[in-house]
Structure 1
């Protein structure tokens, strides 16, 4: 019997003990036993080592539970001497959920305050974008991934720091005609964060805290949590083996015009409290518009409530209802501004009309019914990267689990 299979059985058998152990917060609630079964099965299949699942109905939490281990393996995939049990207090690397809970929220706030016109050219806010190739790109096209900017590029090979990001992005060829098609782009959201800083004169994280997070009362939604002394952190990847493969192996699906050996600062240790994404960490100092945010499921629920029920308990909502409608209205490609809405993008087919959400590379996702009367939300945070890559260099695929979770949470509501 392989060590990994033996370990899987051990994790499965110990999960009940873990979820009831002394270091678990007393506020855990479990009204969805079927959800427990889905997570237990995923643990036994080595899809991740730790998870937190939160389900809410009509604004009330009906299931909030932690599973497995926040840190189980070292960089050699050996079990660490004292595995760290996951709690609902643990912060997860949100990966591309940053695109929603940081960047999209920032632009919803800017729109509410009359400081941004989504249909204005980017060059109105970043004059360097006034080039023959880029001058027609609009803010809206960045938000809905139709800008034509490349989906991804290892900017850390070319940018000496965050001050060089725009210059290096502008030096790259477009992958398509702006506005013509949806091509999911990390680079577009890197640009959006730079726009926000240009408009506000503040660092991106400072603006988010001042305008959004502090008004909601968030305490655990941050960039660079280690710098803030936070300790309840979930481990993700062991270095960046997937991203390195993207650079070194052209047959892996990414054609990158760099000499792979011209940059050698790859991380080789287990990442905990450092954003996994290479561009966010190496090129942007841990804070970017596409990745870098850390948070808990409970904080994310509070953020979602500010959109789904913006006037609840407040005479001063974070966003105007007109702004919320505009950002969550599906476009010709079936998605909103910053929000994923098209079922395949959400890894779910059983969804209420107008459902919003997003997925993240580290193993995070959420889906929310925007109907404030009876709407449901589920937030699933996992550390799928922590189990390592398989022989093909891939991390575990969570699509089936996400589809089952959406069916469980929303299926009855749709019948």
Structure 2
């Protein structure tokens, strides 16, 4: 009997050790794949840096920094002593502001009963009480189905957030309300205004008090140059060459017909480091906007993602109700959630399981979450520091995002 027990223990031990070894090997393969993808992109001078954090459940599967936070100067020539990237560097997260900051803020206000996502925008912004705009709801803004135009160069007409809001009030709709998904910065700028009106706080203060402090996101903020304790910030673009193109190149279809590109010349003529790249956020919204402006780190963003993966719970209790979370992370008829991208044709969650969600930022940032496997990928890249390509566009990161997501999806079910 004793020999049988010993034999069983040996068999179980052998099985356990073999299983652990296999899992370790799969994890090592994943890490090797990620390293190869990102190191290859840096070696080919496609991107200057990358920081990645992959987490499943409570375990960090992989966290690492690659390349240089500040590689090229304003002339787009390599610095003599480029600044090495660390996992603690702040990145301009661009449109991740829409989900990390603005969408989360709307969730919290909805939870508190201070607004309803089906409320008409005109309830909070009286100028929208017109025959053309009265049917636009907060839901429409969150899902990019409001009919508002995608982009407008507000800095030609405004230098204050309150004045920028008034300009949007007067702009005509470009599409029929609810007829299709047309990704719009304007909708999220308006959501920022609604947050301010409902909370009676400036947008940056609301987010700091109700999101960043409670979740201990100590390195997430607007206008980081105003915080003298912040030192490690990645560099982005050399001025705003792409936005200059947006108002001068008619082939992009972004230039308003009535705009004279020469009527404003406030373009920044230096490499941006700590100033939000987005011109509307910087010039027309004082660095603080619902569509862009936040700077953050992978670890800080992960704190919010952990809440979303954990049915709205933080380590200090229920942060967002499960009911609200479910409402925001349920696909609409255009296969996306409220604020979040859920269409699995998107590169960031390509062919992911049902319920996967994520978002991207123009500077090169992205979030991808697979709730079914309790796993997330945060990738921060400052692609703009390499300058524009010959095509006069920035390097396309979607193939990188797709490769990384595919690698994580392939191995994630094998991890504890």
TM-score, length basis structure 1: 0.90
Aligned to 1:245: 245
1:59 Cα deviation from its structure 2 partner: 2.6
Aligned to 2:384: 385
Runs of 5+ unmatched residues, structure 2: 1-27
Aligned to 2:3: none
Q: Is the 8 A contact 2:92 2:276 kept in 1?
A: yes
Aligned to 2:223: 224
1:311 Cα deviation from its structure 2 partner: 5.9
Aligned to 1:259: 260
Runs of 5+ unmatched residues, structure 1: 1-28
Q: Secondary structure at the match of 1:235?
A: coil
Mapping of residues 87-236 of structure 1, within 5 Å: 87-229=86-228, 230-236=230-236
Q: Secondary structure at the match of 1:84?
A: strand
Q: Is the 8 A contact 1:30 1:65 kept in 2?
A: no
Mapping of residues 42-57 of structure 1, within 5 Å: 42-57=41-56
Deviations 1:77-123 (A, max 9, x none): 11223210000010000011010001001001111111111111001
1:135 Cα deviation from its structure 2 partner: 1.2
Deviations 1:255-311 (A, max 9, x none): 323100000000121000000000000000111000000000011111111111146
Aligned to 2:355: 354
Deviations 1:15-52 (A, max 9, x none): xxxxxxxxxxxxxx997121011101111222210110
- For 1:84 and 1:289, the matched residues in 2 are separated by 30
- For 2:69 and 2:174, the matched residues in 1 are separated by 38
1:136 Cα deviation from its structure 2 partner: 1.0
Mapping of residues 324-403 of structure 1, within 5 Å: 324-371=325-372, 374-403=373-402
1:160 Cα deviation from its structure 2 partner: 3.6
RMSD value over aligned CA atoms?
1.6
Determine whether 1:39 maps to 2:8. Answer: no
CA 1:71–1:300 in 2, change beyond 3 Å: closer, same or farther?
A: same
Deviations 1:200-241 (A, max 9, x none): 000111111111111111110100000012110000000010
TM-score, length basis structure 2: 0.89
Q: Secondary structure at the match of 1:66?
A: strand
Greater radius of gyration (CA): 2
Aligned to 2:70: 71
- For 1:382 and 1:184, the matched residues in 2 are separated by 22
Q: Secondary structure at the match of 2:366?
A: strand
Determine whether 1:304 maps to 2:305. Answer: yes
Q: Is the 8 A contact 2:110 2:324 kept in 1?
A: yes
1:171 Cα deviation from its structure 2 partner: 2.0
Q: Is the 8 A contact 2:145 2:182 kept in 1?
A: yes
Q: Secondary structure at the match of 1:95?
A: coil
CA 1:319–1:44 in 2, change beyond 3 Å: closer, same or farther?
A: same
Mapping of residues 402-413 of structure 1, within 5 Å: 402-413=401-412
- For 1:97 and 1:313, the matched residues in 2 are separated by 20
Q: Secondary structure at the match of 2:247?
A: helix
Q: Is the 8 A contact 2:348 2:368 kept in 1?
A: no
Aligned to 1:323: 324
